[in-house]
Structure 1
Amino acid sequence: MSRRDLRRVVGLRLREARLRRGLTQAELGRQAGLDPSVASPRMTQYESGQHLPRAEVLSRLASVLGVPVSYLMAEDEGLATLILNWQAMTPEQRAVLIAAADQVVRAGDTRPPP
């Protein structure tokens, strides 16, 4: 993924997660430790894809939003949904999902077994 695409994806995911939490840009920025005087404009820059937050800022934003950093960087909608669902699952549910995914992959694999 290009840096430009990454900025766009992170911006989209930040906005989606922020709106789900019912936060304004300024509230999110302040809660993530941004200077209150620049919190809103900085979040606008991040959400519009103009700038990409540094790793430490991205981590704090994810923490405030209650999502993993991997969600914020997921370029595919399906993957983003899986990441959020994974986060909500119990270890037992995760094991079932992994087993099911393995079966789906094996069922579609036309190579002969080793």
Structure 2
Amino acid sequence: MSSSQSPRSVFGARLRLARMAAGLPQDKLGVKAGLDEGTASARISRYESGIHEPNIAFAHRLAGELGIPAAYFYAVDDELAKLILWFGQLSTKQRKSLLEFAGQLKAPS
């Protein structure tokens, strides 16, 4: 994804990638996240195409159903998005270790 994309299109593209990685069709993801069965597929399609963007609470529900951090949907930079996904898969102990390591890597102020 390029930095010239709007946040809405980034959200939609990342939602589609996460949904496909989870092996879920649009309708099933929508229903699992609490949408009405009759409109679930169309709503998820509108989110993925960038026509609409869900509110933050629903974005968190989608992320929960997909097993990913909601921040992934909003990361414009692809490398940051990967880090967010990986960070979300770590245990609390691993997260702490990674944060300590990253703190040592950061450039001096």
| TM-score scaled by length of structure 1 | 0.82
Inter-partner Cα distance in structure 2 for 1:91 and 1:62:
19
1:73 Cα deviation after fit: 1.3
Inter-partner Cα distance in structure 1 for 2:39 and 2:91:
39
Aligned to 1:21: 22
1:103 Cα deviation after fit: 2.0
Aligned to 1:90: 91
Residues 47-100 of structure 1 show CA distances to partners (whole Å, capped at 9, x for unaligned) of 011110122221211111111111111111111111111111122322222222
Q: Which runs of 5+ in 1 are unaligned?
A: none
Instruction: Establish whether residue 42 from structure 1 lines up as the match of residue 57 from structure 2.
Output: no
Q: Which runs of 5+ in 2 are unaligned?
A: none
- Identical columns (%): 43
Q: How many residues align?
A: 105
Q: How does 1:1-114 map to 2 (within 5 A)?
A: 5-106=6-107, 109=108
| TM-score scaled by length of structure 2 | 0.86
1:105 Cα deviation after fit: 1.4
- From the superposition, tell whether residues 27 and 79 of structure 1 become closer, same or farther in structure 2 (CA, over 3 Å): same
Inter-partner Cα distance in structure 1 for 2:89 and 2:63:
15
* Structure whose CA Rg is larger: 1
1:5 Cα deviation after fit: 1.3
